Structure 1
Amino acid sequence: MIAKLHLYLVDATAALVIWILVTYAMLEPQVHVSPWIAVPMAGLTAVPVAVRRWWPVTALVVTTLATVVIVIGQVLPVVALGAPVGAVGFTLYTVAVERPRAWSLAGLVVTVVATSGVSGGEPETVLVGIAVLGAVWVIGYTTRLRRSFLERETTGRTEQAVADERLRIARELHDVVAHNLSLIAVQAGNAAHVRSPEHAYEALQVISETSRAALTEMRGLLGVLRADADLAPSPGLGGLADLADRASLAGVRVTLDVRGDTAVPEGIGLSAYRIVQEALTNVVKHAAPASCTVLVEVTPEAVRVDVADDGPGVRELGVGHGLIGMRERVAVYGGTFSAGPGESGGFRVVAELPQR
């Protein structure tokens, strides 16, 4: 916002300078133009420069027409055409940056013809006009191409980050699913060999509950394959205290509050753990030394994670994979995620992971 305000102030300053120069040229003794005519006519030439970022094509049309009118109407000497052409150049640059090539080329042709016509049509003047306005168009169009390239590059990096994060989540969920299927296999084997119907019923009950949990975790594995297999136990809500202790050692005073029954599905517990871990890592990187509050509320419907700090609230959202990873973890379960400056300063991350 501050950068945009700076650009608007630059435009307003350029418009004011052009307005003054054109007005001064109109008030020369040999022109004999009343100030009541000179000031508004000069304004029609200059004011579009101040609003060119909002209405680039309109600004170019108004500036060009005003230039033609004041020269044909003999209220501006041809020798003073430099300031109006400067205004035309400002607006032509914006059209070249903001509009497709066909539009900007049409604007270039129209402005060259118009300025060349009112300047007397002398070859030297026409060549100078073509050179100046052509250079302005080339700079603007090059800027448009560069911005388009950077946008595609940023989009590609973001998509690659999302793909990498989804693969990493799939690998973690593999551990949970493998554990559940192993338990099902063991219980199924027990049910097949026991002679007591009561024991067989208990084994089948475990199989039923475990298979439901496994199917829930599998919803996040949409065709993503695991390249390796590390079957180490997955962390969960029980490991949050260790995370808080490690963050405290790094200079962040963490207040941890876990409410409700922490016996949640392993995939949800793992995702909540990773979200808190990444949020605390961001606090350590960007806000330490600071205070941080971690609130984890577990209800039958969802697990809600709220991490807030009192450090500097300005962060570059979307840079790096941290916020992307947290958002993807929440998206796996169809939950909600938000990250941004807190109401009373600092930075806040809120995620809700549905259990049903």
Structure 2
Amino acid sequence: MSLRSALTPVVTRWRTANPYALDTALAALVLFAVSLQWMFPDEGDDPLTWRGWLLGAGTALPLIWRRRAPCAAACAVSVATPAQALLHAPPPDVMYGGMVVLYTLATVGKPWQRRMMLVCWVIGVVATMQHQSNKEPFEYAFHLMGIICAYALGMLTRVQRAYTTELEDRARRLERERAADTARARAEERSRIARDMHDILAHAVSLMVVQAEAGPVVVRKDPERAEATFDTIAATGRDAMAQLRKILGVLKEEQERANGTAVLRLPQPSVTALPGLIRQVGESTGLRVELRTTGEPCPLSSDTEVAVYRVVQEALTNTVKHARASRAVVGLHWAEERLTLTVTDDGRGPSSSQGGHGLIGIRERAAACGGDAETGSGPDGGFRVLVRLPAATDRQEALG
């Protein structure tokens, strides 16, 4: 075990101990050091008196309050120390109390307090040394270096504490920012999952409802078509269940891997899947859907590819559920590195039932990809969904 690892628990306990108990112990230690002159007297012209000992105690006892009232404690020590030296009863060999209060003020005092105290002690040491008998030149340097070193050590401690505090504050800010980023990512992911599940369920259920409503009619008139209708309902339901199981399975796996942070990475549909979607809607509902493409296609980011598919899916689902339309047109217009997507029908136009989560999801998807969406009446009647989406900025983004 290294010396540092052995001392770390001791230092930790020392820092977390009661500060008043520590200051009392420090005052007792300084009082013991001051009393050494009386315990081991040497020959000299300065007498050892009780008055001198009391003045020496006056340089130690105020240290008990050095953290509660640092300036008052420093002033008390600053008065007792020169008084002891001027009365020759006897003068202190080492100014223990003075070095402690200078260190304390340099650490916790206000700028004017610590600067004023340092200047007063420098002047006081020089002045009191003039009244000390048998003084030696090196004693000036000894006392001056002692108080200056104590002050410098206090300033170093002050800077170190400020630096440590800044690091701790920065760590707390980074932790709060990380928690906020995590919460924001989770909220965005929950919103995306909700949109995907809404699109999958709404589309599948709408097709199933249309087929189920037509089932009783065709059962009596065309049994073979009725059988195909029920097969379509079953296939649509199985497809929806398979997609939901895939979403929930990957979500559970990612939650366990990321300790609760869900990040889905499912194979997502793209623009190339639109013909299949249109064919499915037409075969399942009897709605005539036409896909029209103009311009030269440009690469899209993976999120934009998914948004195009989901917008078309949601728009056609709304057409099947609400529009009472017989025909719909899906238009893809590529121009100036931008895709303009339109879905129009020849139904009854806007209604209050078409202002729900589906249209909100379309706007959210467009905004998330840096585009915008408009919904309302078409130029020739019916209902129109218009979405403008930007192309990928570079090849890497296009590849996702």
Q: Which bracket does the TM-score occupy, shorter chain normalised?
A: 0.3 to 0.5
Report the structure number with the largest CA radius of gyration.
2
Q: Compute the TM-score of the two structures, normalised by the length of structure 2.
A: 0.43
